[in-house]
Structure formats: C-alpha cells, structure tokens
With several copies, the nearest count.
Chain A
Amino acid sequence: MKAALTRDDALPLNQKLAADLEAANAAITALDAEVGDGDLGVTCRLGMKAALDLLPTLKEASLGDLILKAGLAFNSAGASTFGALVASAAMRAAKYTKDNALAAWDLPAVIGVLTSATQGIEQRGKAARGDKTLLDALWPAIETLEAAHKNGKDLAGALADAAAAAEAGAEATRPLRSKFGRAAWMQDRTVGVKDAGAAVAAMVLKSIAEYARM
C-alpha cells in the first residue's frame, strides 16, 4: 500500500503496466480495428517496450524528467495518434511536477498531474469530453479522484475508485458517435462500439491503482 509514488516506482510501475497492456493486446487491437486501423495494440507494445528500455538508463533523473522521457520514448517507438497524446500528456505532467518541485506524487499531486496531462491531451487533439475519445475515461477519473480526496480516501483507494470511473466512462462511450481520429470517418458505424483509446486509458488507471495497493 503506497501513500505516494516516487522515482523508485517508475520502473516497477511501468513493468506492471506493460505486462497488463500486453495481456490485453489482442482485445485492444480488436477494439481499434472495429472502427479504426487496428494498430493500437502494437502502439502500446512498442511504446511500453521503449519506455522500459529507457527507464533503467535514467539513474539520475528527477521524477518529472522520468515521466517526460518515458512519454517521449513511448511516442518515438509507438508513434501514432495515441503516442502523440501520451507524449503531450507526459510533457504537461512533467511541467506540473517540475513547476511544483514534486519529488513524489501523493494524492493531491496525482490529481494535479493527471489534470495537467489531460489538458495537454485536449490541447494537442482539440477534442472535448463527449467526443468519444480517451478524454471520456480521463475526466471522470479525475472527478472521482477529487471526490475521493474530499472524502478522505487514501491514494490506493482513490485510484481504485478512479479506475472504476474510467472504466464506466469508457463503457459510456458506446452510444456516442466518434468525432475525432480515424473513427470519425465511420460515423454511424461507431455507435455501439467502445472507444479503443478510452478503454486503454481505463486499463492504465486500473493497473496504476493495483500497483498502488501492492
């Protein structure tokens, strides 16, 4: 059970994340193939591998630098829409961490970092909540984190609630019509289909929540 995430968590957390995404690889590919091009599984695999290859080499880096460089490495190896959004999120998360001179992310820090990151995604992709993207998983997760914090929950508990909210948010993309990315071209055929990026965002939060509980 962890009260905060530090630079020592970067490697094991990302190792768990990579393993969890790899286990879901076929499911992610299938979701992206339904109304996209089916490359999201490959993106996650290549991106996570690059991050994992890089992290052990960054012995001296600050927490902010770790997230920045891991995010950029993810997009170098898994360049794509999703990769660009991950990189943009990482850049903003790193900036928040540095601006606030954070050496660890406790629950309030996690809320600030995730909010900045999500704003970075909004700015890069120009989509808004309800446009059937990963934002529809991220914003409910942030709101849930805030509520959990107000209710005095600990980091692991708050993240578990947030992961559940993200998953509910991803599920709730089904009835929506895609407005961004490749799926936008498919118009009515996207109705009834879960957004692939939102599904991955929910998986990421679940993985982090499980790590925080360990």
Chain B
Amino acid sequence: MKKILNHPEAFADETIEGILLAHPHHLKRAPGTPRGLVRADAPVAGQVAIATGGGSGHIPVFLGYVGPGLLHGVSIGNVFSSPSVEAMVAVTKAIHAGTGVLYLYGNYGGDIMNFDMSAELCEAEGVEVKSVRVRDDVVSAPKSAAEKRRAVAGLFFAYKIAGAKAATGADLAAVTATAQRVVENTCSMGVALSPCTIPAVGKPTFTIGEDEMELGMGIHGEAGIERGRLKTADEIAQVMTERVLADLSFRSGDQVAVLVNGLGATPPEELYLLFRKAHQVLAGHGVQIQRVFIGEYATSMEMAGASISLLKLDAELLSLLDAPAYSPFLPQWRSAR
C-alpha cells in the first residue's frame, strides 16, 4: 500500500505539527513533551481531567477525542506503539485542575504498563489518578476473561460519555464509575479485509488472500482472530450483530446505541450496507435502536474492514451521549428529534 509520507520515522511528529497548524484554537502542546496534546483551554477549572493516549495511526482515536465535552489531553506514541511515560506525565500535569485525573484508554499491554508507570509517578507528586481500560472486542477473549479483551471502536462511547460526565462537574469517583459502566455495557465485533503498513516498517502487517477475511480485527494493524472466507455484507453484519448481542445478554425492549465503524479504506457506502442488516437483526430481537453512529471513529490507517459496536443504554448514558461536544476530527452528530 502506497503512502503520502516524508521520512517514515517522522510520521507521528509531522502529523502532530500539521494538526497544531490546522487547529490552533482547539489544541495545544502539553509543556515539556512533543508528544502530548491538551485542550487549548486546559486545565479546565472545576472538571475532573480525562487523559487518554495510544499509538499514532488511528485518528480520530486517540487525539481526535480531545475537546469540549470530550477528553482533556492525550499522549501520542509512534504508529501503533504506546506513548512514553514522559508524555503521559506531562499531559497529566497540563490538564490536572486539582480534582484528579482519569486515565481512560484501550486495554493494550504497552499502554497499560506505561500508564501504570505514569500513574505511579504522578501519584508520588500528589495527583490522584484512576484508570479505566476499554475492552470491547468480543472476539479477543471469552466473556469469562473479559479483562483480557482489547479495545476497538467502542472507545468512542467511553470517551463521549465520560467526557460529558466530567463536563457536568462530577467528581473523580463518579466519572470513573460512569466510564466503567460504559465499558461494561459496550461490545464490538469487527472484520478486517486487508492489512495496513506501519510507515517505519514499510511492509503490510499481515497477508490475507483475495477471498478471505479476518473476524475480530484489532485496531493496531494486528490480524484478526478467526480467518474465514469473505462473506456478503448481510452475512458479515448478521454474524457480528448476533455475537455482540449474545455477549451483552440483551432482552427484548432493551435500548442501544449502534456504532458502525470503518477501519480506513472501507467506504461509507459499505458501512451503511452493514447497518442495514444490523438494523434487521436488532429489530428481530426486539432491541430498540436509540442512536446511530456510522463512519470512521477508530481507524487503522489504510486497513479495509469495519466493526459493529453496541452500547446498552440507560437514561443517564443516553443523555450523556447526547450532550454537546466538539472535535474537528469527528463526524457530526446530534440527538434525534
């Protein structure tokens, strides 16, 4: 796969430069690191601050979720690699408004280890830190080992809702609990049709036949977990929706928000084909679709593929999901009338 690049190893830094030139009223650097971005108005007085972080190559994940009504800061690693502890510490200090910091990020080994080191360092300096790890990929581990699951596009729900909760002025315990409730009620399943290339590596992350697909893709360029024959849009959507429904143990009458996410190269048209079938499947189970998000909410550069995520809603989650928020990296949304 060809790329529009300068020096492969400057990819992350030059991307950040471009972003700061494009959105100077929206983001600024965290003092002391080239790899941390925070809201232009950080620290935001009276709000618990939420930090995330992760590798480059997933926009709008991770930095695209920083903004009013969303998160407060982000540390940025190389493509698909964890950010450094230094960046995490710098971001934590730049956003902390005295009311504690929530680390809300994807359940990936490198990120966990580095965020844990950062939390130890920041707590030693008197910053209260809590951590919530998003782990929505149903295929990546059985429900009995849900704490091993990885994060995919379900990050969107956690970011949107935790950010809205923080914006209400809730305290760290409440923001953490809300984020954790989203994690426990979010489940995703994805499919990858083609790999991507890490610029500094220069070769695709995996190979896959023209008639194959991988169920359960990761957003870090990993291959999926079950390899199979490429199926139709209807078959794929049916498998994904049924598996997610079963995992969240839905009952007829339950209310959900649906996210159909594209990994990068998959066109919006194909996402709508998947939604069309998912809608039929959900209707068949008597599950009520309250909100719909279709587009690119978590990408893997030029990978082709998609995922379907469900969030089981309650009244508070729905109202937080509908709360205003802004980031130039996200699709538009507004609540249904």
**Which residues of A does B touch, CB under 8 Å?**
29, 33, 35-39, 41-43, 45-46, 72, 75-85, 87-88, 124-125, 180-182, 184-187, 189
Which B residue sits closest to A75, measured CB to CB?
A: B84
25 A–B contacts from the bound complex (CB under 8 Å): A38-B203, A39-B78, A39-B80, A42-B79, A42-B198, A46-B78, A46-B200, A78-B81, A79-B83, A79-B110, A80-B77, A80-B78, A81-B82, A81-B108, A82-B110, A83-B84, A83-B110, A83-B114, A88-B113, A182-B218, A184-B141, A184-B148, A185-B141, A187-B225, A189-B225
Contact A79 B150 (CB under 8 A): no
Minimum Cβ distance to chain A for residue B109 (Å): 4
B281 within 8 A of A: no
B140 within 8 A of A: yes
Collect the chain B residues with CB atoms within 8 Å of residue A75's CB.
Answer: 84-85, 114
Contact B110 A81 (CB under 8 A): yes
- The 8 closest A-B CB pairs, nearest first, are A84-B113, A81-B110, A79-B84, A81-B109, A185-B140, A80-B81, A76-B84, A80-B110
Given contacts A80-B77, A87-B85, A184-B148, contact A42 B113 (CB under 8 A): no
Contact A42 B109 (CB under 8 A): no
CA of A66 to CA of B97, assembled, Å: 35
Contact B221 A124 (CB under 8 A): no
Contact B114 A79 (CB under 8 A): yes
B29 within 8 A of A: no
CA of A186 to CA of B216, assembled, Å: 10
Contact A186 B223 (CB under 8 A): yes
The answer, among A37, A43, A125, A185, for a CB contact under 8 Å with B205, is A37
CA of A39 to CA of B77, assembled, Å: 12
**Which residues of B does A touch, CB under 8 Å?**
9, 77-87, 108-110, 113-114, 116-117, 137, 139-141, 148, 150, 198, 200-201, 203, 205-206, 216, 218, 220-223, 225
Which B residue sits closest to A180, measured CB to CB?
A: B109
Which B residue sits closest to A50, measured CB to CB?
A: B84
Contact A37 B82 (CB under 8 A): no
Contact B108 A182 (CB under 8 A): yes
Minimum Cβ distance to chain A for residue B213 (Å): 15
Collect the chain B residues with CB atoms within 8 Å of residue A29's CB.
Answer: 201, 203
Given A75-B85, A81-B108, A182-B109, 5 extra CB contacts under 8 A: A29-B203, A37-B222, A42-B79, A80-B82, A186-B225
CA of A124 to CA of B78, assembled, Å: 21
Collect the chain A residues with CB atoms within 8 Å of residue B205's CB.
Answer: 33, 37-38
Minimum Cβ distance to chain A for residue B63 (Å): 15
The answer, among A39, A185, A189, for a CB contact under 8 Å with B201, is A39
| SS of B interface (majority) | loop
Given contacts A29-B201, A76-B84, contact A182 B77 (CB under 8 A): no
CA of A72 to CA of B200, assembled, Å: 21
CA of A43 to CA of B79, assembled, Å: 10
CA of A72 to CA of B109, assembled, Å: 18
Contact A84 B110 (CB under 8 A): yes
Given contacts A33-B206, A75-B84, A79-B82, contact A85 B113 (CB under 8 A): yes
Contact A79 B81 (CB under 8 A): yes
Contact B78 A125 (CB under 8 A): no
Contact A81 B225 (CB under 8 A): no
Contact B114 A84 (CB under 8 A): yes
Contact B84 A43 (CB under 8 A): no
Given contacts A46-B9, A79-B81, contact A37 B220 (CB under 8 A): yes
Collect the chain B residues with CB atoms within 8 Å of residue A189's CB.
Answer: 225
Collect the chain B residues with CB atoms within 8 Å of residue A36's CB.
Answer: 222
Collect the chain A residues with CB atoms within 8 Å of residue B150's CB.
Answer: 182, 185
Collect the chain B residues with CB atoms within 8 Å of residue A85's CB.
Answer: 113
Collect the chain A residues with CB atoms within 8 Å of residue B87's CB.
Answer: 79
Minimum Cβ distance to chain B for residue A199 (Å): 17
Contact B218 A87 (CB under 8 A): no
Which B residue sits closest to A127, measured CB to CB?
A: B109
Which B residue sits closest to A45, measured CB to CB?
A: B200
CA of A32 to CA of B109, assembled, Å: 14
CA of A45 to CA of B141, assembled, Å: 31
Given contacts A37-B205, A79-B114, A81-B110, contact A185 B82 (CB under 8 A): no
Contact B200 A42 (CB under 8 A): yes
Contact A84 B198 (CB under 8 A): no
The answer, among B78, B86, B139, for a CB contact under 8 Å with A42, is B78
